[in-house]
Amino acid sequence: MRKIIGHLKNHVKEDFHPITYGWLLIFLVTTISLNYYLNYELGILNSFYRQPISLLFYCSNFLFAYYAIAVPQLLILKKGYILKNYKYWLRSAFFICLVGHSIYFFIYKDLSYGDHDVYEKYFLKKVMTEIKSFILIFIPLFLFWFIIDRKKPDSESFYGLKLKNTNLLPYGIMLLIMTPLIFWASFQPDFQKVYPILKPWKLLNPFGLSDIQQLAIHEVFYGLSFLTVETLFRGALVIGMVKLVGKDAILPMVAMYAFLHFGKPLGETIGSVFGGYILGVIALRSKHIFGGVLIHIGVAYLMEATALWQHYFNQ
């Protein structure tokens, strides 16, 4: 735990600049406020879902979030020469657009799924929703790393996805510290509307599965989706960008990560800013993301578990 705190202290000491951090604060306060006031993500952006133009809109959404922070930051820090490097633009845009394409991808929702009843089709689509990010983000990322980065001297693992010399105990302690806050959040109405992601009590035993069996299957793939998120945001966008921008990879990633949460409860979006920053610093300093994977999946499962407790045992 001391090592993690040390990483954070050292990074803030070395990285803090009143203008770059101030601009990030102004940008996030403004965009987060507008999103929830105008219902931007759910009411405006998603109104174009399943239309070809939405691919452009989703990619542009995340490109805006990332470069609105990255470009001013590099200019303010007198590192504008990085912006003249085509590798910076191609690499970062590829990583960013993987997210936009994954959100846009809807073909699986239009499949007939044979003669299955409405509940079985719904269950299949929920599982496919969790699998799609692994297929559309994780696999392309791995291929990119394998072809482009694998043989580079400083690429000892797939964007920090390694267990060697990784002490996971501090991350377990962090999860314990967060547990009471998550438990408190589970009593909030907006939390209960969103979680658990799969609400088996609304289904009539699809495929003959009990509530527990439905949850067991869904939660496995739900956890896999967070492995994908960590590999992209803390792996590719931090560790994968370090050679080009160094420690300046974190703030743009944080902004983009906040945008990823715009469809979630407000408290979760705000929490993602701090969580994204902390996990980004840890990834940058330790060169691994497994701690972040544990935290991310652990928090997700705690939110699922407390929401299930609210429904089954606290009604």
Cis peptide before 196 (omega within 30 of 0): yes
Distance, in Å, from the CA atom of 132 to the CA atom of 113, rounded to the nearest integer, reads 16
Chain centroid to Cα 164, Å, comes to 24
Question: Looking at this protein, which amino acid is placed at residue 189?
Answer: P
Phi, psi of 216 (to 5 degrees): -60, -45
* 238 vs 114: CA distance, rounded Å: 43
Q: What is the pLDDT along the chain (315 residues), one digit of tens a residue?
A: 777 788 788 999 999 999 999 999 999 999 999 999 999 998 888 888 888 899 999 999 999 999 999 999 999 999 999 999 999 999 999 999 999 999 888 767 776 677 788 899 889 889 988 899 999 999 999 999 999 988 876 666 899 887 777 777 888 888 898 899 899 988 988 888 889 999 999 998 999 999 999 999 999 999 999 999 999 999 999 999 999 999 999 999 999 999 999 988 898 899 999 999 999 999 998 888 988 898 889 999 999 999 999 988 876
| pLDDT at residue 109 in the model | 72
- Alpha-carbon torsion, ordered 100, 93, 274, 249, to 10 deg: 170
CA 289, distance to chain mean position in Å, is 13
Which DSSP symbol is given to 52?
Answer: T
Residue with tokens 């080009």: 244
The reported pLDDT for the residue numbered 245 is 96
The CA distance from 72 to 87, in Å, is: 18
Q: Which of 258, 256, 289 is nearest to 60 (CA)?
A: 256
Task: Tell me the C-alpha distance between 233 and 255, whole Å.
Answer: 11
Sign of CA dihedral 218, 224, 228, 233: positive
Q: In this structure, what DSSP letter does residue 158 have? A: S
Nearest C-alpha neighbor of 219 from the set 310, 298, 101 = 298
Cβ neighbourhood burial of 184 (10 Å; 0-12, 13-18, 19+): exposed
Q: Look up residue 134 and give its two tokens.
A: 């692994």
SS3 159: coil
